[in-house]
Amino acid sequence: MREELSLVLALALGGAGAGRAETHVEAIGDPVRGAEIWVYCSGCHEIGPEAQASIGPPLTGLFGRRAATVAGFPYSRSMQRAGQDGLTWTFETLDAYLENPVVLVSGTRMSFPGLEDAGERADLLAFLRQYSDKPSNIPEAAPTARAGDPELSEATLALAGDPGWGEYLSSECTTCHQRDGSDQGIPSITLWPERKFVLAMHAYKQHLRPHPVMQMMAGRLSDEEIAALAAYFGALGL
Amino acid sequence: MSLNRRSFLGTGLALGAALSAPSALGQARPRVVIVGGGAGGATAARYIAKDSGGAIDVVLIEPGKTYYTCFFSNLYLGGFRDLASIAHDYGRLASQYGINVIHDLAVDIDREARSVALASGHALGYDRLIVSPGIDFVDGAVPGWDLTVQNRMPHAWKAGSQTQLLKAQIEAMREGGVFCMVAPPDPYRCPPGPYERISMVAHVLKERNPTAKILIVDPKEKFSKQALFEEGWGRHYPGMIERIGPDFGAANVEVRPDSMEVVIDGTPETVDVCNVIPAQKAGHIAGIAGLANDSGFCPIVPGTMQSRIDENIYILGDATIAGDMPKSAFSANSQAKVAAMQVRAALIGARAFPAKYSNTCWSLIDTGDGVKVGASYQAAEDKIAKVDGFVSQTGEDAALRKATFEESLGWYAGITADIFG
Ligand SMILES: Cc1cc2nc3c(=O)[nH]c(=O)nc-3n(C[C@H](O)[C@H](O)[C@H](O)COP(=O)(O)OP(=O)(O)OC[C@H]3O[C@@H](n4cnc5c(N)ncnc54)[C@H](O)[C@@H]3O)c2cc1C
């Protein structure tokens, strides 16, 4: 499958005489390495379906959670205030907190000096994120995906989509995403700006966004097909 | 349904001339006739009508005025949906898409004359025919069971009155009684369906009749999402569900509806409710028209959904041998879009793109505990082949399971709008 896709890609680009698309993006991190780093945390925190409060609060479903909201857990005043002020755990806020906890929440009771290495933080966050995936996060990047967009070459971004092709391809989307834009359990994708649509689909394709159905659906779309879909949905009259 | 070819020719000849395929008569609008207004047929009708802007005469033949979706009918059994919420009619297909919906039964297909005979005695000519009749049961698959006893031992594998009946039987079961399911052998409609049903029955019994037991008599070694279901049953319904597999004789089963007995490998068990889901084949009309092979299902061309036996006929959904794709509404809907595009290409020169197929099946195990399995597919030379897939994991947290269930509600709303407009 991978091979076929890159073949399609190479053929299409070769034919157009363009340079090879830069599809490499900064991955959020390696959850397997993250699991190794987790031993620094697991003395105080539990994670997983049965996780309970321990010395620290349970970290299941952490992404998207308002700070200091695990019922009954005795948070520091400082953390409570941060939660009241609106601190929510996303990739960015967790990254900052892990780098140096007291910089973000000065009076935190977490006695952890921080992880200096950005790569290690990303790995740990990739590990933590596995316990936070929510299908309803299509299509937003936050909170479980890194806020940044996948890096795509200008050539890929500039591809002019064929809306006729997009119309056929869209029939695969509308089994779940309603064309009229209503969303009940599955978000609307109608009338998205084309560029945002393209970035979101590539983010799924490269597994930067977590939803398994979308990773599978986007995973087999070529750059041209993604452009075609974006053109179709972007122009859909309601 | 027993009209044979000769009697068909009798009626067909009388009416055939007036109604034969319009393009064959040099008329402007080519005609597509679709047999079966379910997940496959209604989707195909809607997509052809919607995307051809009136250039194709779309005729949908479906005996029922109300279509009860099998999908989510288990949730109705479990008390999570009411019957009205899984009922759909054909009003919008007629009024908004201009589809000619004929409530009748196709009783024969004259492939040479390109004409479909209806139970009412009429015949309809076609330029292209789409056949999506769903399943029928294999005669004698479960000795002792046939359609004449379906009220004592319901199948509820076609939704509607059968599902209502089964629900009433479950709710009226004596305290501490036994619910038995005779599960079907592969291949059958909706691989996780029997096990989602068991979950929903258990959910009802846990609340109303907690000492009742559930017995599954299953001729298969393994079943879809098995680890997920078994984990869920252990968690939500401990001690309630027992499954007998082929190693304990479940491949040799007979039923005695009069005495409510299930005979497993020679040993009779008396049960209180018995849900018999027999082995399946393509809907009768596919066999009558000579579109099915020895397997009972219809071979198709992977890239187009055309019958391998007749290039003017496209076959969809449960009736087909669709390679790696399971028999599901999602699959039927996905295949219908490929066929609709191909038919438009053949009749009015619309653009045809390479086929893409996909499927996802959600199942509910207990309140807020949803799981899913899915895959994408493409046309290989000899079959529709799986490209990539995923399945929910055991040990997922409650929030994810709840979100998965909510996603299934969105899917139901989405796909029914995609099928019926
Ligand atoms: C309990 C249960 C749960 C399920 N859950 C799911 C699920 O969660 N997700 C999912 O994707 N799928 C699910 N399914 C499977 C799904 O219902 C079927 O796979 C799907 O309906 C197949 O579509 P189809 O078009 O092939 O057949 P159908 O939808 O059965 O449509 C066939 C239609 O053809 C008509 N017909 C038959 N013969 C003739 C004739 N001779 N002339 C005219 N009309 C005729 C019938 O009246 C019927 O309306 C479930 C099935 C069951 C039983």
A74-91 per-position pLDDT tens digit: 888 878 878 887 788 988
Is the pLDDT confidence value at A93 over 60?
Answer: yes
Kindly report the protein residue whose alpha carbon is nearest to atom 7 of ligand 1.
B71
Is the pLDDT confidence value at A28 over 80?
Answer: no
Q: Which of B313, B387, B324 is nearest to B356 (CA)?
A: B387
Please give the pLDDT value at position A186. 81
Q: How are beta strands B253-256 and B261-264 bridged, if at all?
A: antiparallel
Cβ–Cβ gap B407/A136 under 8 Å: yes
The pair of three-digit structure tokens given for residue B211, joined into one six-digit string: 């000492």
* Whether B396 contacts chain A with CB within 8 A: yes
Pair B387, B377: CB distance under 8 Å = yes
- Region A134-154: what's the mean pLDDT? 54
Kindly report the protein residue whose alpha carbon is nearest to atom 22 of ligand 1.
B329
Pair B88, B419: CB distance under 8 Å = yes
* Whether A114 contacts chain B with CB within 8 A: no
Pair B15, B124: CB distance under 8 Å = no
* Whether A1 contacts chain B with CB within 8 A: yes
Please give the pLDDT value at position A204. 83
Please give the pLDDT value at position B19. 55
Ligand 1 near B193 CB (within 6 A): yes
Please give the pLDDT value at position A63. 87
Pair B179, B260: CB distance under 8 Å = no
Please state the domain extents for chain B: 5-136+281-352, 140-278
Query: What superfamily would CATH give domain B5-136+281-352?
Result: FAD/NAD(P)-binding domain (3.50.50.60)
Instruction: Give per-residue pLDDT as tens, B3-33.
Output: 444 344 334 344 444 456 666 555 679 999 9
ipTM for the predicted complex comes to: 0.84
DSSP state of B247: G
> Which residues in chain B are closer than 8 Å to A180, comparing Cβ atoms?
417
The minimum CA-CA distance between A168 and chain B, rounded to whole Å, is: 8
Higher pLDDT, B379 or A134: B379
Q: Is B26 exposed, middle or buried (0-12, 13-18, 19+ CB in 10 A)?
A: exposed
Cβ–Cβ gap B414/A175 under 8 Å: yes
Cβ–Cβ gap B414/A172 under 8 Å: no
B161: left (phi over 0), alpha (psi -120 to 50) or beta: alpha
Please give the pLDDT value at position A151. 74
Q: Determine the topology of domain B140-278 in CATH.
A: FAD/NAD(P)-binding domain (3.50.50)
Q: How confident is the model at residue A16 (pLDDT cuts 50, 70, 90)?
A: very low
- Dihedral angle sign, alpha carbons of residues B38, B286, B312, B306: positive
Residues of chain B with confidence (pLDDT) below 50: 1-18
Cβ within 8 Å of B, A 203-232: 212-213, 215-217, 219-220
A173-186 burial, b at 16+ Cβ within 10 Å, e below that, comes to bbbbbbbeeebebb
A63-81 burial, b at 16+ Cβ within 10 Å, e below that, comes to bbbebbebeeeebeebbbb
The minimum CA-CA distance between B106 and chain A, rounded to whole Å, is: 28
- Name all domains of chain A by residue range, CATH numbers in brackets: 2-24+150-235 (1.10.760.10), 27-146 (1.10.760.10)
Backbone angles phi, psi at B253, to 5 degrees: -130, 145
> Which residues in chain B are closer than 8 Å to A48, comparing Cβ atoms?
395, 397
Ligand 1 near B332 CB (within 6 A): yes
The minimum CA-CA distance between B400 and chain A, rounded to whole Å, is: 6
**CA A125, CA A35: separation in Å to the nearest integer?**
10
> Which residues in chain A are closer than 8 Å to B376, comparing Cβ atoms?
216-217, 219-220
Distance from CA of residue B301 to its chain's centroid?
A: 20
